[in-house]
Structure 1
Amino acid sequence: MAEIREAATWFADDVATFGDRLLAAREAAGLGQAELATKLGVRDKTLAAWEEDLAEPRGNRLQMLAGMLNVSLRWLLTGIGDDLDEPGTTPGLTLPARLVLADITRIKTDLRKLVSDLEQAEDRLNLLLQADNPADELADEALSA
């Protein structure tokens, strides 16, 4: 896992894995593993597996993690970009603000999925309505007679 060292070398980006970055970001945010798992709505062992690089979270969870931990999604995934502040420095957002940001991100993800589901349902309905239906033809003939 990530080593916490002194000064500028406290986190070695060149050898860090996703799990290392997740662990370091969680610790920098001052969150315990169980606390973060609860906030994300996952089991403790799921978060532990992510931190140990035994499993990876889905996309919507990645966005929530980045928001809650106040790191960029790009950095969390690749280690490229803005990284963590050194231990003891003040993060840009407070924990409550990060939690609200994570909620917003989750809600946006849920809304995108709902909109996609709605569009698909509308398309299916339109196909059904446009299909040749003998009952519709009989009704049309009765009206024209």
Structure 2
Amino acid sequence: MFSENLASHGDDTLGGRISFAREASGLSAEEAAERLGVLPSSWNAWECDRDVPRANRLTMMAGILCVSPSWLLTGHGHGPMEGDPEPERAALRRELRQASVDVEALNRRLRTIASRLDNADGS
């Protein structure tokens, strides 16, 4: 079941919720940063509230961490999974995380191709 306990995370900071969701998903900061395509130092700055991710990164982060973007921003909405005993649901969460990683990789590839196309048009 999704956690919607507003008292426990609604008053937390964005960084605290990012850290909590990452830990609940079983990822290290380095693994999470790699999946999102950012430097570990950027991820750590977000968790420590020294910086905030851009909106598009926040949305991708929510997908990787299996929480809603609104939960990350406000603590309201669908938070991290709490002790799910169903192996099928756990497998689906892993599949969702992998799909998020795949989408980000495809987005990077599309940006590279578009850049190459722009360079070819300009020559």
Count of residues in Structure 1 that have an aligned counterpart in Structure 2: 107
Instruction: Provide the rounded CA distance (Å) in 1 between the counterparts of 2:71 and 2:94.
Output: 19
2:84 to 69, 81, 89: 89
Deviation sequence 1:85-127 (CA, Å, 0-9, x none): 22x335663324223135437867x98xxxxxxxxxxxxxxxx
- Cα distance change on mapping 1:96 and 1:85 into 2, 3 Å: closer
Instruction: Provide the rounded CA distance (Å) in 1 between the counterparts of 2:27 and 2:100.
Output: 16
- Could you tell me which residue of structure 2 aligns to residue 101 of structure 1? 100
- Could you tell me which residue of structure 2 aligns to residue 49 of structure 1? 45
- Cα distance change on mapping 1:47 and 1:89 into 2, 3 Å: same
Instruction: Provide the rounded CA distance (Å) in 1 between the counterparts of 2:93 and 2:9.
Output: 25
- Cα distance change on mapping 1:13 and 1:33 into 2, 3 Å: same
**Matching residue's letter, 1:12:** S
Q: Is the contact between residue 64 and residue 101 of structure 2 (CA under 8 Å) also seen in structure 1?
A: yes
Return the TM-score normalized by structure 2. Answer: 0.68
Deviation sequence 1:58-87 (CA, Å, 0-9, x none): 11111110111110111111111122222x
- The 3-state SS of whatever aligns with 1:89 is coil
Structure scoring higher RCO (CA < 8 A, sep ≥ 6) equals 2
The answer as to 2:60 corresponding to 1:61 is: no
Pair member with larger Rg: 1
Q: Is the contact between residue 75 and residue 83 of structure 1 (CA under 8 Å) also seen in structure 2?
A: yes
Gaps of 5+ in 1: 1-7, 112-145
Gaps of 5+ in 2: 111-123
